[in-house]
Amino acid sequence: MEIQLSWQVVFTLLSLVVTAMKTPAKNLPITDKAILITGCDRGIGYILAKQLDRVGFHVFAGCLQDKEKGSKELRSSCSNRLQTVQLDVSKIWEVKSALQLVQQQIATRGIQLWGIVNNAGICYVGNVEMMTEADMQKIMSVNYMGPVNVCKFFLPLLRRSHGRLVNIASNAGLAPVPLLGVYCASKSALVTMSEVWRYELKMWGIKVATIIPSGYKTGIMSYDMKATGDRWWNQATQTVKDDYGYECFYIKFKQKNRERFLSADFSDICKSVEDALLSPKPQSHYYSGFLAKSLPFIYLYLPIWLSDPLMNVLVNWFEFKPKMSNQRQGDNT
């Protein structure tokens, strides 16, 4: 009888533990919480600003061009809780100006800055021999130093609210993609810095999460590739021009209809960001999209004899045939 009773007690306790683990914790209230989001002109930032406004946050939507289409659409389609902010994260004076505006607004509205979402990012396709130094620095200044600049000035507000820091990185920050080397480096730096912040900011009660998306129509590669190629070609050394050839400066995607392989549904990313902002125990990393987890796993954990062929398939995105390489292949035949 005693043994039977003991097993009943153990079973009951186990059932309670399992139930507790499966029962999601109640999210924190949204009332009087403000969020700063960078890069809201389009893509993830634009959709995220609308979604967080919809669920009740006060949103400061940082836009690279506050008087252009994206910011105008946000102001016209969202509640009066949302306010657009002129914010180029690579320019210290604009970050300082945004801080002053946010400080004034949260004091006037009687709210607190609860969260920062570092989303702004840019990308150029090319290798370091072809890219100009200015363009490489620009990628790093937006994708890595941008979040650093924002945190440097806004973290005092998060310390007072014991709020949340959310950084939008990329699967390209966890695994290499040929011809996206500088972009990969910038996102890798952000991933590492995000983890450093996660440890550093625990003492202040600030929780940090990193979002790893892949395969979305963010518009990050919608820049003028022809004008960029012209600029790079004009500044390249003669040796680089001779070795690579003119065509390599105008890189094309292998998938002619690549857009149909990208998702325009950002709901999974929005859910991840909401959870990172409101869950009592947010995850350290949130992955969205097929390549977000699979690419880093293949690259980091499989043996090279298996990972290299798979990586060659999964990240072989661009047409790129240097002139000198073609000549060498011809000589070998």
Interatomic CA distance for residues 36 and 167, integer angstroms: 12
| β-pair type (164-168, 83-86) | unpaired
Residues facing residue 164 across a β-bridge = 115, 207
Interatomic CA distance for residues 84 and 258, integer angstroms: 32
Of the candidates 144, 183, 287, 299, the residue annotated as catalytic is: 183
Task: Please identify which residue in the block is written with the tokens 């550093």.
Answer: 200
User: Residue 18 is encoded by which pair of tokens?
Assistant: 């399992």
Interatomic CA distance for residues 316 and 135, integer angstroms: 23
Interatomic CA distance for residues 49 and 76, integer angstroms: 13
Q: How far is CA 3 from CA 7, 9, 12, 152, in A?
A: 6, 10, 14, 61
Note whether 292 and 213 are within 8 A (CB). yes
Interatomic CA distance for residues 175 and 184, integer angstroms: 8
Interatomic CA distance for residues 130 and 124, integer angstroms: 11
For 282-319, letters b (16+ CB in 10 Å) and e give: beebbbbbebbbbbbebbeeeeeeebeeebeebbebbe
Cα–Cα nearest to 168, from 119, 217, 122, 121: 119
The reply to whether 124 belongs to the active site is: no
289: left (phi over 0), alpha (psi -120 to 50) or beta: left
Interatomic CA distance for residues 247 and 238, integer angstroms: 15
Residues facing residue 33 across a β-bridge = 112
Q: Which residues are known to be catalytic?
A: 183
